[in-house]
A and B are shown apart, each in its own frame.
Chain A
Amino acid sequence: MILIWILLLTPVTTFVSTAIIIRIQKFSLDQVSAQNACFLAGLMNGSGILIVSLCLELKKGNHDPIAIASLILYVFAFMFCVNFLNWFIYALTETSMHIHIVALIGHYGSLSHDELYSLYNKNTIITVRIPRLLQLGQLKRKDEQLVLSGSWVLMGAIGCRILRRILGIPTRPELVKRES
């Protein structure tokens, strides 16, 4: 029962940890991006929850290796979801085009079609993402050229394409036009 209450609190503790990390890193020389702060908070909370849950299980006298392995997998799956949701909510406010448009209109009060497009268009959308990918270690500059350096975001994107294929959704944007 204690474990259930701890698990229910982890989304809050992960979020608060993220806020603390972001504030602390402002005073350090090594700047941690807010996205990386989300992952770091998730890792810290996940490790803590795993240790606590293992201690609780061993305290009950349960030394069955299958039960222990099952508990580890359960905590891993649960904390993966907590970490993902923590990052997702941040990403929603930082990178979501929908939210950004809402924030822009809210900031300026109202915007005409041309004003909105001058502030937020294909060029600005793509330009703002490149430094983000460089900071996340997914791209790097090599002799003025952009090259892939990390893979997890690309793997996620490929995973989305596979899911689209399974669910019967056009796998690429240009195929949506053909379908319509």
Chain B
Amino acid sequence: MALVLGLALFATCWFIHLIVWRIHRPQAYPIWLPAIFFVLPLLGAIVLNLYPIPLFQVKSLELDCVKGVLLHVMLSCSYICGYAGIIEYSPTAEILFVVDRHMPAGISERALNVDSLTECSLTGKRVDHLVAAGVTKLEEGRYALTQTGKFIACLSKKYRTFLGVAGIGEG
């Protein structure tokens, strides 16, 4: 029951997400995705609570409902985090696609040129995102961190220190 409920809840939310995206893909997906995957089911639960349905009155199913909701939350968190990999074009993936096109002979590292990605679509695009999100700011021709950016940098460093790896990743 928990497995079916969790998967059904996630699948329903994902179908609503597909319909919304097909009508008009929103730019503010960090707001839309949590709204679809978390707020909508919560509203649904509130509405269902107002109209008692015999199935949900069965005490023995309460734990299954909790486990089902837990699975839905984990699946939704994974999907929302993984969505960045869908909306952004991973350089790692583009490298593999280029190597795949040259199989079985392969390609030398020197000849590896990922034409699908440009400076503008890599560093440039990310810098624009960070400025638009208020994480970095441009002052007198130099990029600096805002308070939000400093918090993110500090959090990342502390996380990596706890994990036992170098303070800054390789990027």
Interface, chain A (partner B; CB < 8 A): 1, 3-4, 7-8, 18-19, 22-23, 26, 34, 70-71, 73-74, 77-78, 80-82, 84-85, 88-90, 92-107, 109-113, 116-117, 120-122, 124-126, 128-130, 132-133, 138-139, 142, 144-148, 153-154, 156-157, 160, 163-164, 166-169, 172-174, 176
Contacts and interface: CB of A to CB of B under 8 A. Distances in A.
Main secondary structure of the interface of B (DSSP, over half): helix
Contacts of B100: 148, 154
Contacts of B1: 70
A125 B123 contact: yes
B131 to A, nearest CB: 10
A175 B112 CA distance: 21
A167 B153 contact: no
A100 B168 contact: yes
A103 B156 contact: yes
Q: In the complex, which of the residues B18, B70, B154 has the most CB atoms of chain A within 10 Å of its own CB atom?
A: B70
A138 B60 CA distance: 47
Interface of B: 1-4, 6-7, 18, 21-22, 25, 63, 66-67, 70-71, 74-75, 77-78, 81-82, 85-87, 89-97, 99-100, 103-109, 112, 114-119, 121-123, 126-127, 129-130, 135-136, 139, 141-145, 149-150, 152-154, 156-157, 159-160, 162-165, 167-171
A29 B107 CA distance: 31
A163 B90 CA distance: 14
A78 B149 CA distance: 32
A19 B162 contact: yes
Contacts of A106: 145, 149-150, 153-154
Given A109-B144, A122-B122, A146-B107, A128 B170 contact: yes
B6 A133 contact: no
Q: In the complex, which of the residues B2, B6, B25, B143 has the most CB atoms of chain A within 10 Å of its own CB atom?
A: B143
Nearest to B118: A122
Contacts of A80: 78
B25 A88 contact: no
Given A148-B99, A169-B87, A73 B3 contact: yes
Given A126-B114, A167-B18, A99 B152 contact: yes
28 contacts: A7-B70, A19-B162, A22-B164, A70-B4, A78-B70, A84-B78, A88-B81, A89-B159, A93-B169, A96-B171, A97-B122, A102-B135, A103-B167, A105-B136, A106-B149, A106-B150, A113-B143, A124-B171, A126-B117, A133-B92, A138-B96, A146-B112, A148-B99, A148-B100, A160-B85, A168-B21, A169-B25, A173-B116
A18 B109 CA distance: 32
A124 B77 CA distance: 31
Given A74-B71, A98-B126, A124-B171, A116 B103 contact: no
Nearest to B66: A4
Contact of A103 (B74, B157, B164): B157
